[in-house]
Structure 1
Amino acid sequence: MPGRVSVEIRGADKLTDRLKQLRPAVKRGTRTAVEASGKAMRTGMRNLAPVRTGALRDSIDYELVNDGLTARAGPGDWIDYAIFQEFGTSRMPAQPYIRPVAEAERRLFPERVRMHVREEMDRRRGSRRSRW
C-alpha cells in the first residue's frame, strides 16, 4: 500500500523489565526525600514560630503517612491557638510560621526528590557493578 509507514521497536521488553527493576529504587529515594522534607519543615516552622512559653514551638513535629510517601508537619492538635498565630485576629497581627515554610519546601521538593532518587540509582548501580 503506498504511503504506509511501518515502525518496529526493538528492545521494548528489555526496557520494560529494566524500568520495573528501577521502581523500588525510585520509591526508596522518594521516601527518603519525603522524610527529609518533613524534617526540614519541622525545623523551619520551629525557627519561625512565635515564642512566648515555647509550647507552640515545641509542639511542632512531622509524621510520615501513605507508606512514607507523604509528610505532614505542623503544631500539635492540642495547641488550639496555633491558627490564630498563623493568620492573626482582629486584635493581633498574623505571625506566619507555617505558610512561608510550606511555600519554600514546595519549591525545593522537586530537586530534593531528584537528588535522593539519583543517590538510590547510583547505589543500585554500584551494587550491580555495571552501567546501564
Structure 2
Amino acid sequence: MGFKLEGMQELLKKLETLGNEAEQVKQEALMAGAKVVQEAASQKAPRDTGKLAENIVISDVKEDGTVDIGPDRDRFYGLFLEFGTTKMAARPFLQPAFEENKEQVQQKMSDVIRRGLGL
C-alpha cells in the first residue's frame, strides 16, 4: 500500500543542500509521519483479540525512501481484513488511518524538515 504527499518538494530541495545530514533529516521526517499513521491504524484496527491493534509496525526506510506500515508478520491476517477476500468483505483500517490524518502527517514531516533546516 502506498501513499503520496504533495507540497513538500521545496522543503526537500532545500534539505538536499545540507549534504550528509539531509538523509538523516529525511528519514526522521518520514518516520515522524509514519508514526501518526501507525497510531491511527492501531486505533482503527478491528479488536477481536486486540493483538492486531497492538502490532501495527513501521518498516525500516527502504532504498526508494518509503516505509511500510501494517501488521507484523504474525498478524498477516490484518491484510485480509484491510482488503477483504472472496469470502469476506473488507474492513479497512490502514487506508482510512492515512486518509483521515494526511494533513497531520504532512505537518509532522514538515516540522522535522524545518527543524533540520534551522527554520
Q: Same fold (TM over 0.5)?
A: yes
Aligned to 1:22: 18
Aligned to 2:70: 74
Is the Cα–Cα contact under 8 Å of residues 38 and 63 in structure 1 kept in the other structure? no
Q: CA deviation at 1:99?
A: 0.9
Q: CA deviation at 1:90?
A: 5.7
Is the Cα–Cα contact under 8 Å of residues 74 and 98 in structure 1 kept in the other structure? yes
Aligned to 1:9: none
The higher relative CO (CA closer than 8 Å, separation ≥ 6) is in 2
For structure 1, the residue ranges without an aligned partner over 5 or more in a row are 1-18, 124-132
- What is the RMSD computed on CA atoms of the aligned residues? 3.0
Aligned to 1:35: 31
Is the Cα–Cα contact under 8 Å of residues 88 and 95 in structure 1 kept in the other structure? yes
Once the two structures are aligned, what percentage of the paired residues are identical?
26
Equivalences for 1:1-132 in 2 at 5 Å? 22-66=18-62, 69-89=65-85, 92-104=88-100, 108-122=104-118
Letter in 2 for 1:62: I
Q: CA deviation at 1:63?
A: 2.2
For structure 2, the residue ranges without an aligned partner over 5 or more in a row are 1-14
Aligned to 2:12: none
